[in-house]
Each structure stands twice: as C-alpha cells, then as structure tokens.
C-alpha cells in the first residue's frame, strides 16, 4: 500500500498539530500544509490550554509537550472586578503561552518530522486537492473556503451575536484571569484579560453592538479605538497602553456544521465549529480535533471509516462545549441584567455562567470563596442553598425543591385514585418543599386524554382532599399545589404511552381554542371560542379553583404553557383572532389575565398563586424571551406570586435547543429583568445544578420532573449525599434508618504501595 498523501489547508495550531501527529505516527506519509500568511504572521496574542488538552498532547507527542512546558505561564486565580469591588476565586489551574510561540514550536516540530510547510501560499482548490491527495484536512478557520465550497454537503449554520469585541495586548502580566466590568454613560463594557508571558497579557474588550455605536467606536480609527479602551480600563491596566496586532472590532460567529466530512475531505477546528472566547476553547478544540483525527486514522483501515469515527467521537464533545460557550456568550451579552446583584453573587454568577463550573466543583477549587457566597445568600452554616426556606405570600417552603407537575394519565372520569395518592404521597415523603399535581382539568372537554384528572365536580374534590390530607399528615412541612388548566386544541388524544398528541381512534370530544388551528393535520380542528364561551370557561376555572381551596391545596398554579388553552391565547402562532382577545401581546394576554383575576377572587388571600408559561415557542414568529418578560410582568401586576418558566410544546414544528438546564436561562432573564420570583425547570438533574442556579440568583425555586420519577426520595437523598441534617428537609420517622447511603463491597483492602520489577 503506497504512503498516505495528506493535504492540509491552513497553518494554524490545529492544522500544524494534525500534520505533526500524522507524520510522527507514520514517517512515510507525504504531508503538505498550505498557509496563506507568512510564518510569523498571527492574529491574537495568547492561547489558553486546559490540563486535559495538555495531557493528550503529552501522551501523543512528548517533544511538543516539553517545548510547550518551557514557555507556559501558569496561574490559578480568577479576579472579578465589579463596582470597585474585587473578588478572587482560586484553584482553577490555567496555562497559557503566546500564539506566535505556539506556532513556532509547531513549525519546528513539523519541519523536524519532514512535513512540507508552504507559507504565503493559497491552497489549490479543494476539489483538485481531493483528486490529488488521499486525505484533505480543511483547517482553514472560521471563514473556511473549503466549507463554503461544499456547503451543500457540510450544511453549515453560522450565527452572529449581539456583541462587538477587539483582541488586544498589554506589556505586563496580570496575576490572574481578570474580568472587569465598566459601567459607562453609553452602557456596559467588559474586559477579559489573562497573562500569556512573564511580561505580556491578552486583553479582550467586549460590549453590545448598541453600546459600541453609542460610544463612537464605529467612527474611530483603530489606534483611536485602542487608546479609548485603554482609558476606560486604565485602572485594570495599571496605566499601561494597549497594543494591536492587526486587531479590528468584530462580531463573534458561532459555526455549526451538520456534517464534518465529505469523501476524503474533513473539517477541523474553526472550520468545523467555533466556541466563544469567553470559555477559552478555540485552540483547545482544534488541538483535540487533531488528536482524535490522528487516532481514528490509526484505528481504522480505510479513510471513510476513520472520518466517520472522528465525527462520531468529536461531535458530541464539541456540541457540549458549544452549549457551554453559548451560555457564556449570552451571559456577557446580557450582563446588564446582573449588575444589581450583590457583589459576591455577581462573582459566583459570572464563574458559573457556562453551567460547566458548578457550586460543588467551585467549592472544591476554593472553599473559602464559595462559603462567603453562601453566607451572603443567607445559608446557615453547613446548609446547602437548596435547603434554605423560601416564602410565597403566606406559605413558607422549607426548601427550594419542587416536584414538577407530571401528567400521569391514570384517572378514570377525571377522578384521582390510589395511583395518585401513592404517586404524590411518595414524593411528598421524599422531602421536596413543594409537590405539584399534574394539570388538573376544569371540565371533561378540557382534558388532554381520557386518563387526565379533573376538579369539575364534588367527587373529584373529595378524592383530592384525601391526597392533601395524606401529605399534610404524613409529610408535615411539605406543601402540595394544584395546577389548573384546560387542554384547548391539544385535547382528545391518546394516553402518552399509546401515542402522545395522537387523536383518539374513537370517542373524541369537541375541542375549543383561541383560533381554529389544529395542533397537527391529524388532530381535530378546534372551534374558535365565542365571547359567551369565554365567559363559561372563566366560570369553569373559577369553580375548579373554589373546589381546590376546599380540597386543601396550599398553592394554585394556572397553566398558561405548552400550547394548552390559555397558552394558545398568548402565542401569536396559535392566536389569530381579530377581536379584543387577539393581535398585540396586550390583547393576547387579556383572556388569561381575566381567568387569573377570577381565580384570585375565590382563592384564599393568604395562599399563593403561580403561573406556568412557555417563555419561547422555539419557532419563528412565536413567543420570544422579550415577550416572556412582558407576560411575567403582566401576571405579577395582577397578583401572581411567582412565574413557573417552562418553554415550548406550543406548536408541533418547534425546534428546541436541548441540553442540561436548557430552559433555565429564560427563568434567569425574567427574574433579573423584573425582580419577580421564578421557578426554573428543564433538564435540571442534580442537586449541584439546583445549588448552582440558586446561588447565582438565576432562580428562586427549582422544579424537577424526571429525577423524581427515577427517585421519589430525590430530595432526601440529596440531603444525605451532602451530609445535611437540618430543618430544610425531614426524614419521615419510619425512613430514618435509611438516611445514610448503604455500604457496598469491601472498603478495608490495603492499597498497593510498591510495584516490584523482575
């Protein structure tokens, strides 16, 4: 088999490192790198690499690792300066060096191995390279011409964002990774700075587009821009000037490709994906791509198989990093929301912005800093944030955990039975501060399925009373709430496990909605509600609320989310009315607010009411985050005590952006825009997530669904795993013997101390 011929387009760190690895693994390979710039041309200044990436480099090429080690600047601290207050968090472990020095090391390694480097050379057209070489690696950056040439195959998605930034440097070394916030007359600006040499630091200045324009940067020449930035951040820079390296203001572009390879062409680094600089990942990801690609080429006998394996390995890792980077990017875009937070909370919020750094691992890195944030939050000694109480009107919840409403589809004629008693009772015994019912329907026609519960007659109210009595008697201190709703156009469907949202094969009942739009073409078309019917529906909600009060519920939540009846009024995608209940957001809010007011009129004054909303429809032209803030304001003005912030399920064509805690940014935005208490939901899966969200001020309560299906005693176990024993959670007397994790296997075996040679 003849030696592999490899063409690499782009001489950045990713392309060069791929060349070095492939040549080192097989010296017979013919590898050529094309780079349009000169060897000493580089943009930017410092490069940060993680210990994980360095470990991969050390294992794959000790010579490169040793050369890098000689030039690394290392530090542990992050400084956050906000309103003249500096908070320092340690234990983070950074390593950086100059980008130019990194390229020099890789140039030398490639030359020593026999890689042909062609500088000041445009690469031939990718199609020619693909015919001439066995493998073409496109490492040609965010503006990749290769990616564009095969856009129909790679199917790239490029998103631009709301901030402008400029990459600069200064001739002294910060002693920490520094974030500094400047509140100017034009708006908020931020500095990201870190050392990359004993006498030099990278400095990135960033601000929203409208701030950039208001401050006049659009009109300034490059040198004037640099001088202006130096004045704004003079204290952080200790009076040192800033310098440029062909620097220009730009907008970050997030690149995502549906595919990374085509025949023998493969994308690597920024050509395949980008992740915002605020998590320092661009070079890191490119180097890790190179490591994975080289390994896959070793492990697979053919190039197509190797490229498939490379994609399968790297895409999930990169997608996770991009989600974290997107969260970090959006945090800085919306930094003005958080300026009023207490300084320690602001610092913690910034550190945990990507959701990769959490309360628990930050405590491992710097226990002193984390404890100071906890004290400022109001945590008694030894009390995790999730076990601090929270008050809503006359109800004090002993902890911040909510069992989220979950439809069980197990009722007969709307009547909750033994299943509901056991289901809700078990979760109440499990320690949560608040247990919510599923959506309880206000009429037979308002059910989603034949298995949905109701509160439209006295027998149902008596059955619910049995459940609330159990919770109050057997799980004292746990509150139980009822969620009232009406299915609207999403009714008369099969049980979830028989076919979610699919219409019943027979026995259907007529549907009503804001507008006559079916949920899917297969679903029934609802009748548009008349004025008289709106009045009747309002009375149905009121009667159900009155029964709920008599049934002993501690809290009532009005369901205005997920495309059900009231949600259908709120979304412009499902409300096409031309009367007083359709059109502008104010008009679309009218009927849900009328229902809320009617319920509040019969619901006991001392008991709280919350409202669940879909903060985005995940669909073009639908409800967006800005609308959600206004919807929350409107309900709060009418007396809502908190907003339960969910998303989506409004239209079948939605395109959610799933991921860990993926819905929580919407709760965060509402809370920090309005000051209204919020309940966050959406793939919150660990007690560490709960503690992190609370301590950062992104939510007041956390609602979890699937974790409570997996473990009815999730909250009790969270307390045990954190060694917490206090008033925030109570083990039922019969369960106390189980309050410590059972031992498994031997733990007394001696650890090996010596390895003897032969």
Catalytic sites, residue numbers = 564
Q: Which residue has the tokens 């009406």?
A: 486
- DSSP collapsed to 3 states, 262-297: ECCEEECHHHCECCCHHHCCHHHHHHHHHHHHHHHH
d(C-alpha 300, C-alpha 23), whole Å: 17
Q: For residues 702 and 677, is the Cβ–Cβ distance under 8 A?
A: no
d(C-alpha 180, C-alpha 192), whole Å: 7
Query: Where in 174-303 does DSSP place strands (E)?
Result: 177-184, 187-197, 200-208, 242-243, 250-257, 261-262, 265-267
d(C-alpha 522, C-alpha 501), whole Å: 10
Tell me the three state secondary structure of residue 701.
strand
| Strand-strand pairing, 395-397 and 401-403 | unpaired
State how far the alpha carbon of 656 is from the alpha carbons of 181, 617, 647, 662, in Å: 32, 8, 9, 9
Residue 38: Cβ-neighbour burial (10 angstroms; 0-12, 13-18, 19+)? exposed
Q: Per-residue b/e over 318-330, b at no fewer than 16 CB within 10 Å? A: beebbbbbbbbbb
Concatenating the DSSP letter of every residue in 55-87 gives HHHHHH-HHHHHHHHHH-EEE--EEEEETTEEE
**Token pair in block for residue 73:** 């600047």
Candidates 324, 273, 266; CA nearest to 159 is 273
- Number of C-alpha atoms within 13 angstroms, CB side, residue 57? 28
Candidates 235, 276, 241, 240; CA nearest to 81 is 235
d(C-alpha 701, C-alpha 715), whole Å: 13
Candidates 635, 503, 620; CA nearest to 567 is 635
Candidates 27, 117, 97; CA nearest to 57 is 97
Q: For residues 138 and 14, is the Cβ–Cβ distance under 8 A?
A: no
Concatenating the DSSP letter of every residue in 625-656 gives HHHHHHHHHHHHHTT-SEEEEE---SSTT---
**Token pair in block for residue 341:** 């937070």
d(C-alpha 309, C-alpha 293), whole Å: 9
d(C-alpha 708, C-alpha 725), whole Å: 21
**Token pair in block for residue 193:** 């700075």
Distance spanning both ends of the chain, measured CA to CA: 40
Tell me the three state secondary structure of residue 541.
helix
Candidates 27, 20, 21; CA nearest to 4 is 27
Q: Per-residue b/e over 291-300, b at no fewer than 16 CB within 10 Å? A: bbbbbbbeee
d(C-alpha 671, C-alpha 365), whole Å: 28
Q: For residues 252 and 164, is the Cβ–Cβ distance under 8 A?
A: no
């Amino acid at each position: 088999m003849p030696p592999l011929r490899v063409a690499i387009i782009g001489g950045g760190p990713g392309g060069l490192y791929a060349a070095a690895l492939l040549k080192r693994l097989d010296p017979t390979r013919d590898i050529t790198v094309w780079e349009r710039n000169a060897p000493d041309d580089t943009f930017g200044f410092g490069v940060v690499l993680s210990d994980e990436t360095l470990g991969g480099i050390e294992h794959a090429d000790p010579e490169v690792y040793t050369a890098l080690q000689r030039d690394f600047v290392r530090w542990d601290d992050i400084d956050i300066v906000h309103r003249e207050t500096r908070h320092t968090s340690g234990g983070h472990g950074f390593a950086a060096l100059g980008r130019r020095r990194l390229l020099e090391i890789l140039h030398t390694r490639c030359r020593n191995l026999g890689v042909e480097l062609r500088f000041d050379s445009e690469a031939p057209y990718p199609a020619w390279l693909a015919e001439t070489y066995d493998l073409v690696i496109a490492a040609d950056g965010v503006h990749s011409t290769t990616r564009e040439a095969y856009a129909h195959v790679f199917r790239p998605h490029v998103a631009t964002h709301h901030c402008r930034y400029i990459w600069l440097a200064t001739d002294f070394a910060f002693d920490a990774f520094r974030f500094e916030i400047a509140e100017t007359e034009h708006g908020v600006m931020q500095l990201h700075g870190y050392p990359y040499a004993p006498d030099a630091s990278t400095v990135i200045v960033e601000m929203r587009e409208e701030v950039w324009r208001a401050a006049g940067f659009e009109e300034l020449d490059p040198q004037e821009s640099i001088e202006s930035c130096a004045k704004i951040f003079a204290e952080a820079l200790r009076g040192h000037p800033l310098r440029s390296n062909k620097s220009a203001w730009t907008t970050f572009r997030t690149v995502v490709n549906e595919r990374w390879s085509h025949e023998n062409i493969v994308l690597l680094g920024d050509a395949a994906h980008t992740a915002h600089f605020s998590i320092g990942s661009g070079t890191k990801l490119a180097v890790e791509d190179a490591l994975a690609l080289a390994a896959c080429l070793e492990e697979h006998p053919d190039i197509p198989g190797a490229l498939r394996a490379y994609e399968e390995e790297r895409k999930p890792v990169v997608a996770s990093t991009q989600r974290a980077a997107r969260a970090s990017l959006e945090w800085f875009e919306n930094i003005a929301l958080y300026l009023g937070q207490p300084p320690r909370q602001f610092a913690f919020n910034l550190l945990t912005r990507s959701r990769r750094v959490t309360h628990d691992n930050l405590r491992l890195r710097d226990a002193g800093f984390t404890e100071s944030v906890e004290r400022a939050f109001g945590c008694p000694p030894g009390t995790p944030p999730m076990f601090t109480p929270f008050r809503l009107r006359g109800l004090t919840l002993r902890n911040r955990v909510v069992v989220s409403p979950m439809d069980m589809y197990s009722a007969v004629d709307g009547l909750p039975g033994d299943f509901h008693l056991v289901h809700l009772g078990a979760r109440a015994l499990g320690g949560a501060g608040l247990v919510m019912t599923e959506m309880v329907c206000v009429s037979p026609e308002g059910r989603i399925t034949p298995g949905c519960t109701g509160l439209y007659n006295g027998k149902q109210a008596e059955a619910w009373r049995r459940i609330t009595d159990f919770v109050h008697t057997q799980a004292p201190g746990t509150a139980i709430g009822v969620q009232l709703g009406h299915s609207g156009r999403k009714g008369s469907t099969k049980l979830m496990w028989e076919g979610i949202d699919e219409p019943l094969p027979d026995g259907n009942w007529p549907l009503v909605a804001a507008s006559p739009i079916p949920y899917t073409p297969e679903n029934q078309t609802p009748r548009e509600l008349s004025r008289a019917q709106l009045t009747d529906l309002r009375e149905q909600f009121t009667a159900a609320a009155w029964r709920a009060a008599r049934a002993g519920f501690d809290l009532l939540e009005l369901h205005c989310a997920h495309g059900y009846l009231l949600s259908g009024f709120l979304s412009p995608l499902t409300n096409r009315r031309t009367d007083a209940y359709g059109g502008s957001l104010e008009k679309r809010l009218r009927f849900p607010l009328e229902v809320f007011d009617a319920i509040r009129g019969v619901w006991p004054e001392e008991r709280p009411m919350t409202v669940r909303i879909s903060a985005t429809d995940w669909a073009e032209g639908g409800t967006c985050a800005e609308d959600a803030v206004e919807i929350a304001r409107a309900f709060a003005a009418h007396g809502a005590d908190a907003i339960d912030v969910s998303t989506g399920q409004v239209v079948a064509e939605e395109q959610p952006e799933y991921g860990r805690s993926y819905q929580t940014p919407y709760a965060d935005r509402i809370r920090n825009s309005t000051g209204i208490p919020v309940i966050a939901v959406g793939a919150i899966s660990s007690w560490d997530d709960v503690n992190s969200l609370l301590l950062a001020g992104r939510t007041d309560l956390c609602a979890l669904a699937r974790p409570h299906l997996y473990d009815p005693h999730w909250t009790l176990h969270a307390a045990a795993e954190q060694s917490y024993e206090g008033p925030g959670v109570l083990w039922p007397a019969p369960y106390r013997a189980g309050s410590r994790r059972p031992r498994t296997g031997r733990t007394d075996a001696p650890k090996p101390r010596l390895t003897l040679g032969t």
